Amino acid sequence: MVGYAVGLGNVWRFPYLTYNNGGGAFLIPYAIMLALAGLPLFFLECSLGQFASLGPVSVWNILPLFRGVGITMVLISVSVTIYYNVIIAYSIYYMFASFRSELPWKTCAYWADQNCSRSPIVTHCNVTTPMETLIHVNKSWVDFNNFTCDNGTEVYQPGQLPSEQYWNKVALQRSSGMDETGTIVWYLALCLLLAWIIVGAALFKGIKSSGKVVYFTALFPYVVLLILLIRGATLEGASQGISYYIGAQSNFTKLMEAEIWKDAATQIFYSLSVAWGGLATLSSYNKFNNNCFSDAIVRIVSCCRPAPNWGPYLEQHRGERYKDMVDPKKEIDHEIPTVSGSGKPE
């Protein structure tokens, strides 16, 4: 469930919503909605799945009137899986593309157009002609006639970063509109196929295979988040970003808008993966008498205690220092000495 709850909804969508909704101010409605709706729904779905030991469709036999809710959960999971795998295909492509010595989207290359620039583009400026006439013209005319813009008269417009144009022109090969489907991008199709193969391999033997895969899928996102945290904290201007997110630059006037509360409530479903059916499915494998919370505590405590086969207590673990140690299992308690000197009664 830990691996199921950490995904694009946390790594991608949450920072975007935080940025659009006043920075640190968004954390207030998010925490409120998490306490009032998110955690109760999470606990309810896990409890229902564990108690019934059924999936999201059959579990609603508890109230046949709501059986359509379970069917809708499955349909949502199917649709989410389809578009998630498309995004994973993009990620796989960028992973392969990043193996080059220089990132291909670092500079404007052959695939870029005249709007590609890492700095603002001059569109117009003032020019003084040989006749001492001051005219305001576009930059292409200035370049064509070998003139020079007068200092301080340039008019700028934001250019498209090479990373943006690389995404549109190389990775996606985006067409002009919805009416033009374009051609199949073969390398994206292969990456999508690889994404589905990975999903199929993880679910090949049901809970037996997915339970092993989750050791990687549950831990790896946290490793990535830690790397991103260290990388982000060391970038120039990181303190300003932190101040905007959780500091004095947060826009608390956003709390008066209903949109921020709607976004906070919606984000709960992405953060905890409630109402998708997956929590009921995963918790259905947990035995009825097992308390998921106490089991977790017991496992944490057991990880902090020595294992039973540790130390020189067992004979196979004794080195030179403990070679003369008597195995406790071979000792005879309460031996009674006899006249013959034997340790055992005759």
In contact, 103 and 142? CB cutoff 8 Å: no
In contact, 33 and 261? CB cutoff 8 Å: yes
Query: Is residue 3 marked as binding?
Result: yes
In contact, 85 and 195? CB cutoff 8 Å: yes
In contact, 105 and 162? CB cutoff 8 Å: yes
Query: Is residue 248 marked as binding?
Result: no
Distances from the Cα of 95 to the Cα of 15, 28, 184, 187, angstroms: 22, 35, 20, 12
Angle of CA points 18, 231, 20, to nearest 5°: 15
Query: Is residue 343 marked as binding?
Result: no
DSSP string, 281-338: HHHTTS-TT--HHHHHHHHHHHHTS--TT-STTSGGG--GGGTTPPPGGG--TT----
**Calpha distance 40→43 (Å, rounded):** 5
Query: Is residue 5 marked as binding?
Result: yes
In contact, 313 and 328? CB cutoff 8 Å: yes
DSSP structural state of residue 256:
G
**Calpha distance 67→55 (Å, rounded):** 12
In contact, 120 and 158? CB cutoff 8 Å: yes
SS3 for 181? Answer: coil
Residue 227 burial (CB count, 10 A): 10
DSSP structural state of residue 160:
B
| Greatest extent of the chain over all pairs of C-alpha atoms, in Å | 135
Query: Is residue 70 marked as binding?
Result: no
CA atoms 178, 181, 187, 192: torsion sign: positive
Binding residues for Na(+): 3, 5-6, 10, 271
Binding residues: 3, 5-6, 10, 271
